[in-house]
């Protein structure tokens, strides 16, 4: 990687510690001395103030922990050189400056600025992504979040059922599958599942279009082998909780299946960094 040499005596660097509501900023000179520290809100006015203050101070390069979002777009639009330093790197770098490793926004902003000053040749500048790249990156991140929500909901349902209705856990291949969720909607409690016989279960599965990879007799045996669930007066209250989890998972499953696999504005060229 080649980097255009910069006159060290004139370099003014900055670091920005990104947060949800506001951001800590630190500006340092070529010797690492702090010239300015300030906070900016995550608003249009706040970002405008950020850019104005950085340019007034003569900042040319700024370190930040993430490479996308409105803050990065504003910095790039102002022709500032944006250098991404991953959060795990910042965490490791704190010890260089005598920190015990605890998160401190103002301190991290200084660390980011000083790493830009001292380790510039190790860092690669960001370039402005195409609209298609930005849209695709957002889509991928949102889909990942959706999958995490679905896994979390399935784990919560599993933990709930292991207490109130263990027989359904492991009955089918996946607890969040369509057949498992349909079973739970029909047989919400242990008492309702007690009505089943191998023949009744087979008939019910046939009506659901179950492909029959596992014989009804085997599934019924699994139900009987599991610890019995709650049959006391609070079983209906537990059933309401079960149905709430089922509804959540159904919604998440529908969203997952309908999620676009590519951005409609995606392009063939998606550069994110220069070297």
Q: What are the φ and ψ backbone dihedral angles of 174, each rounded to 5 degrees? A: -140, 135
Residues 6+ away with beta carbon under 8 Å from 225:
none
Nearest to 221 by CA among 170, 255, 273, 274: 170
Cβ–Cβ < 8 Å for 25, 109: yes
pLDDT of residue 272: 44
CA dihedral over 68, 100, 36, 112, signed as positive or negative: negative
CATH number of the domain at 8-127, please? 3.30.420.10
Other CB atoms within a 10 A radius of the CB of residue 246 amount to 20
Domain boundaries, the chain: 8-127, 134-258
Give me the pLDDT at residue 241, please. 96
Q: What is the pLDDT of residues 20-72, one digit of tens each?
A: 889 999 999 999 999 999 999 999 999 999 999 999 999 999 999 988 889 99
Q: How far apart are CA 26 and CA 196, in angstroms?
A: 68
Alpha-carbon gap, residue 189 to 186, rounded angstroms: 9
The pLDDT tens digits of the residues spanning 59-106 come to 999 999 988 889 999 999 999 999 999 888 887 877 777 655 556 778
For the 134-258 domain, the top CATH level (class) is mainly alpha
Note the pLDDT of residue 258: 76
Does the pLDDT of residue 261 top 60, yes or no? no
Looking only at the bridges linking them, the beta strands covering 34-41 and 61-64 are unpaired
pLDDT digits (tens, 9 = 90+) for 102-129: 567 788 899 999 999 998 888 888 877 6
Query: Does the predicted model carry a pTM greater than 0.85?
Result: no
């Amino acid at each position: 990687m080649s980097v255009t040499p910069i006159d060290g005596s004139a370099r003014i660097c900055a670091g920005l510690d990104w947060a949800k509501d506001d951001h800590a900023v630190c500006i340092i000179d070529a010797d690492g001395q702090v010239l300015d520290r300030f906070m900016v809100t995550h608003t249009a006015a706040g970002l405008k103030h950020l850019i104005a203050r950085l340019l007034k101070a003569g900042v040319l390069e700024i370190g930040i922990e993430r490479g996308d979002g409105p803050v990065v777009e504003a910095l790039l639009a102002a022709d500032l050189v944006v250098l991404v330093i991953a959060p795990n790197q910042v965490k490791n770098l704190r010890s260089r400056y005598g920190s015990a490793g605890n998160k401190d926004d103002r301190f991290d902003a200084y660390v980011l600025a000083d790493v830009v000053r001292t380790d510039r040749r190790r860092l690669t500048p960001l370039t402005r992504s195409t609209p298609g790249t930005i849209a695709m990156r957002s889509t991928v991140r949102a889909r990942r979040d959706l999958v995490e929500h679905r896994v979390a909901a399935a784990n919560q349902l599993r933990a709930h059922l292991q207490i109130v209705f263990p027989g359904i856990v492991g009955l089918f291949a996946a607890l969040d599958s369509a057949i498992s969720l349909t079973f739970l909607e029909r047989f919400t409690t242990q008492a309702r599942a007690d009505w089943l016989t191998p023949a009744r279960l087979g008939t019910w599965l046939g009506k659901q279009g179950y492909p029959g990879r596992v014989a009804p007799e085997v599934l019924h045996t699994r139900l009987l082998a599991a610890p019995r669930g709650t049959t006391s007066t609070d079983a209906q209250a537990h059933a309401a909780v079960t149905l709430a989890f089922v509804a959540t998972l159904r919604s998440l499953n529908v969203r997952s299946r309908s999620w676009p696999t590519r951005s409609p504005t995606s392009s063939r060229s998606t550069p994110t960094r220069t070297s």
